[in-house]
Amino acid sequence: MIDIDSVHVELGDNQILQNVSLQVETGEFLALIGPNGAGKTTLLRAINGLVAPTSGTVSIDGHDISALSSKAVGRLVTTVPQETSLGFDFDVEDIVTMGRTPHRGRFSPLGAADRTAVETALERTETAQFAERPVGDLSGGERQRVLLARALAQETPVLLLDEPTASLDINHQFRTLSLARELADDDKTVVAAIHDIELAARFCDTIAVLDGGGIRALGSPSTVLTDETLEEAFGVRTVVGTNSATGGQTVTPVSDVPPNDTRVHIVGGGERAAGVIARLSTAGIAVSVGILPENDAAVNTARRLAEDVVIAPPFSSPDLDTQRRAAALQDDAVATVLTSVPSTPNQSLVGEADGLVALEGIDHPAATHTTSERNLIATIRRLSGMSEPTDAPQNSNWQR
């Protein structure tokens, strides 16, 4: 449905897109991710004909966009922009009705098909209750849904979304991307620039990682979203895991604070253990982990961030050497953190821990302290005599 062939885009003296080529099939949901300034919005504008490539071609359904009139383009592709401000304070229904413009003559009245398209779009985006209200009276998130309704009323085979969830609460983020997924399943081709990588992984068929105006990686979420690719594109260390509730991928950014001489041993697995490993590592506290079964959800995070990790085959008892290695790591740590009820291989290990910190919800007779994940770092600092960091950045982007 969309064929982008060797597209370059220059704006002024700036090279925005460089040799971008990709194809998007009918019914495919493609996410564009990448750092600010990577060229995501420019690529969308090239697809809908608002930006002319310096070289290369963009075709939709076999038609070269540059050779079509604006009305013809409007029958092929529609866009929901990131900016929700509108120049005039029309009623919501009037805004949505504007989506029918490519299908009507300049002075033609609304036909039955036009009215049906508008009503359906209002219902699907849950904006029918706003139909008679001025769009200026709505919140930014509500206006975003109105613009989506206008795009649906346009009834094009291609839908472009530029940061479609940026102004939405978590409920409507889910509903908007679920609707986009439904549209793709009904053979509409959807391309969305998305900042939230985890949402992109959950709803999209394909992800293109843009960086420096080019495509760094293109493929399914499971093949594209790797620690290495994301670190190269975004310039931050990440740990890619699996969401136990949805089965989708999780992406956790971690800092490059060098660990100090304090090391904590983690006993337990699952997503909770993975979160604790990332939290301690980000605070500059070295961690070791084990014993973990090879198939545990925390293994990838442990291998990425821990100084040492002891792993055993799943569904089997670890051998004596594995048990001794885990015990040695625990003995040399300032504390042991228990993140889940200990499995059989770890029961004796935990019973011998000197300074066992159990997370809230875990009752263990050997625990000397109980703490929440939120207060874990402070607890470890008190136990080890560490001073609070004095050079931590204030009001950083991550903190905000």
Q: What is the pLDDT of residues 85-113, one digit of tens each?
A: 776 789 999 999 999 999 987 778 889 99
Q: Would the pLDDT of 53 be above 70?
A: yes
The pLDDT value recorded for residue 392 is 42
Predicted pLDDT at 225? 94
As a whole number of angstroms, the distance between CA 334 and CA 356 comes to 10
Average pLDDT over residues 131-156: 93
Average pLDDT over residues 275-288: 89
Instruction: Quote the pLDDT of residue 397.
Output: 34
Q: Which of 219-223, 375-379, 385-389 has the lowest mean pLDDT?
A: 385-389
**pLDDT of 125 strictly over 90:** yes
Confidence of residue 388 (pLDDT cuts 50, 70, 90): low
DSSP per-residue letters across 24-52:
E-TT-EEEEE-STTSSHHHHHHHHTTSS-
Element (H, E) at 277: helix 270-282
Region 130-159 average pLDDT: 94
Task: Give me the mean pLDDT over the 154-178 stretch.
Answer: 93
- Residue range 312-323: average pLDDT? 89
Residue 399 pLDDT > 50, yes or no?
no
- What's the pLDDT band for 119 if we cut at 50, 70, 90? very high
The alpha carbon of 133 is separated from its chain's Cα centroid by a whole number of angstroms, namely: 33
Q: Calculate what percentage of the chain has a pLDDT beyond 90.
A: 68
| Whether the Cβ atoms of residue 373 and residue 276 lie closer than 8 Å to each other | yes
Mean pLDDT of the region 249-268? 80
Instruction: Check pLDDT > 50 for residue 390.
Output: no
Q: Which residues contact 380 (CB under 8 A, 6 or more apart)?
A: 262, 264, 280, 285, 334, 335, 337, 357, 386
* Residue type for position 135: V
Q: Is the pLDDT of residue 25 over 70?
A: yes
> What would the two tokens of residue 322 be?
């594995």
Q: With 60 as the cut, is the pLDDT of residue 234 above it?
A: yes
Which listed CATH number (3.10.450.50, 3.20.20.140, 3.20.20.100, 3.40.50.300) goes with 2-218? 3.40.50.300
* Residue with the larger pLDDT of the pair 146 and 390: 146
Name every residue whose Cβ is closer than 8 Å to that of residue 5 and which is 6 or more positions away in sequence: 21, 56, 57, 58, 59
Hey, is 241 helix, strand or coil? strand
Top-level class of domain 255-384: alpha beta
For residue 241, list its beta bridge partners: 250
Domains of the chain by residue range: 2-218, 255-384
Choose from 117-131, 305-319, 337-351 the range with maximum mean pLDDT: 117-131
Please tell me the least confidently modeled range out of 76-90, 253-267, 373-387: 253-267
The DSSP secondary structure of 82-137, one letter per residue, reads S----SS--BHHHHHHGGGGGGS-TTPPP-HHHHHHHHHHHHHTT-GGGTTSBGGG
Domains 2-218 and 255-384 share a fold: yes
Assess contact for 4 and 47: CB atoms under 8 A.
yes
- CA distance readout (Å), 237 to 221, 285, 293, 361, 399: 18, 16, 25, 30, 16
Query: Phi/psi at 58 (nearest 5 deg)?
Result: -125, 120
Q: Which of 183, 188, 248, 258 is nearest to 221 (CA)?
A: 248
Q: What does the pLDDT read at residue 60?
A: 97
Q: Among 52-56, 70-74, 181-185, 284-288, whose mean pLDDT is lowest?
A: 284-288
Confidence grade of residue 395 (pLDDT, cut at 50, 70, 90): very low
What local confidence, expressed as pLDDT, does residue 82 receive? 87
